[in-house]
């Protein structure tokens, strides 16, 4: 599967993406800020699922993206009124995971959940106040 993080790695340096996919043990383990952002992203995802409610569809991981997408389609067909989270989609050999697939009057609404990066305080670790456009 090709993720947004993969795209960011490729845009930074195609060799970086190649190393991440083919030789992950040689990749940079990151620093405290990288780990903090990853942890914050996991917390935001958890909070988003909590806000969407307890009655969510969440497909189990499959061996391949097409298999995962087929399993997700079956879940959605069996319970079209439920919100789905981390739903895999596949089209023309491209795959993606939708953070939330919310039933609407006509079809579904795709929702992306983001953990915004706040400016850091002088210690370069503690988040400061969010920019106005994030409020």
- The answer for residues whose C-beta is within 8 angstroms of residue 45's C-beta and 6 or more apart is 99, 113, 115
Eight-class DSSP state of 26: G
Domain that includes residue 67, residue range: 31-128
Residue 71 has what pLDDT?
82
pLDDT tens digits for range 24-33? 787 666 677 6
Kindly state whether residue 51 falls inside one of the protein's structural domains.
yes
Is pTM beyond 0.75? Reply is: no
Residue 134 has what pLDDT?
44
Tell me which of 75 and 15 has the higher pLDDT: 15
Kindly state whether residue 24 falls inside one of the protein's structural domains.
no
User: Could you give the number of structural domains in the chain?
Assistant: 1
Residue 28 has what pLDDT?
67
Residue 16 has what pLDDT?
84
Kindly state whether residue 113 falls inside one of the protein's structural domains.
yes
Residue 133 has what pLDDT?
45
Kindly state whether residue 2 falls inside one of the protein's structural domains.
no
Residue 104 has what pLDDT?
86
pLDDT tens digits for range 48-81? 888 887 778 777 766 677 788 888 888 888 888 8
Kindly state whether residue 116 falls inside one of the protein's structural domains.
yes
């Amino acid at each position: 599967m090709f993720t947004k993080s993969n795209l960011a790695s490729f845009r930074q340096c195609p060799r970086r993406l190649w190393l991440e996919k083919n030789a992950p043990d040689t990749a940079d383990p990151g620093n405290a800020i990288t780990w903090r952002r990853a942890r914050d992203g996991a917390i935001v995802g958890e909070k988003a699922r909590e806000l969407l409610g307890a009655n969510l569809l969440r497909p189990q991981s499959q061996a391949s993206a097409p298999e995962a997408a087929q399993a997700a389609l079956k879940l959605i067909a069996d319970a079209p009124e439920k919100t789905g989270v981390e739903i895999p989609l596949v089209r023309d050999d491209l795959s993606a995971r939708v953070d939330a697939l919310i039933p609407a009057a006509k079809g579904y609404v795709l929702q992306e959940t983001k953990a915004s990066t706040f400016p850091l305080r002088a210690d370069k670790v503690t988040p400061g106040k969010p920019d106005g456009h994030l409020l």
